[in-house]
Amino acid sequence: MSNKSLLFLFFLIFIANLNCQGNKEFSEYLKATQYIDSHNPKIIEKAKQLTQECKTDAEKAKALFEYVRDSYSDTSCNSYIASEIMECGGNSCRQRSILLAALCRATGIPARLHLQKVVIKNWKKSDGTVNDVTFAHGITGIFLNGNWHLYEVVGNRDKWIRWTQDQKRGLEMPVEFYPDRDCLFQPDEKIIIETLPIYFADRTEEMIGLIEKIDNF
């Protein structure tokens, strides 16, 4: 293992220890926070609108997940506050994982933030150069029927084509919702995905530090 890989592993263990100490209370994943502002009237109203015909938490989570998944666009947004993301259309996975968590919490469904380390092999840049790229990918954990499951917040055709750079592979999308399993992009020989064994109740300094470590790996 290289020195760079060892440093990343030690950093990951450090963050995981902080995570275990700070995020054990289940109620933490129902609270409104600085970024997951589930108490914001706009978030509450949108959550009510999307779930008004739903009878169970699973039905509510499905409606919220599909809204976040399918409202992805090319519109950029600099905010990481859920209510602002919903208004300005932030399209990054890290932003949309926050939005989904806020909508879930607004309906009384526990939700938290998770990260994956993604490596895309032979990525062709706009200047024609080809390199491997590594980045931190945001997903959302939702508590349903007594268990936590992970959900791909940008599991749509457009995002998958961006990752694979293959129009035909868009037919594999979208990622469908199931209340009893993880619903994520599937790795292959080009796209290597590692789900990190840690999670966060909000976009904390520790989470931001881990994102920067992965993005600069």
Peptide bond into 187 cis (omega under 30): no
DSSP state of 127: T
Q: What pLDDT sits at residue 16?
A: 54
| 92, burial (CB in 10 Å: exposed 0-12, middle 13-18, buried 19+) | middle
Q: What pLDDT sits at residue 152?
A: 98
Size (the chain), residues? 217
Q: What pLDDT sits at residue 128?
A: 87
3 state SS of 132: strand
Q: What pLDDT sits at residue 214?
A: 95
**What domains sit in the chain, N to C, each tagged with a CATH number?**
3-215 (3.10.620)
Q: What pLDDT sits at residue 6?
A: 43
Distance in angstroms (rounded) separating the CA atoms of residues 59 and 51: 8
Low-confidence residues of the chain: pLDDT under 50? 3, 6, 10, 21-23
Which residue's structure tokens are 């599937």? 186
Q: What pLDDT sits at residue 11?
A: 55
- Phi and psi at residue 104, in whole multiples of 5°? -65, -50
β-bridge mates for residue 200, sequence order: 113
| 182, burial (CB in 10 Å: exposed 0-12, middle 13-18, buried 19+) | middle
Distance in angstroms (rounded) separating the CA atoms of residues 140 and 161: 21
Q: What pLDDT sits at residue 75?
A: 81
Task: Give how far Cα 5 sits from Cα of 116, 150, 194, Å.
Answer: 16, 26, 14
Q: What pLDDT sits at residue 12?
A: 57
Distance in angstroms (rounded) separating the CA atoms of residues 84 and 102: 11
Q: What pLDDT sits at residue 8?
A: 56
Q: How many CB atoms lie under 10 A from the CB of residue 177?
A: 21
Dihedral sign of CA atoms 79, 99, 46, 30 in order:
negative
DSSP state of 136: E
3 state SS of 137: strand
Dihedral sign of CA atoms 195, 149, 88, 201 in order:
negative
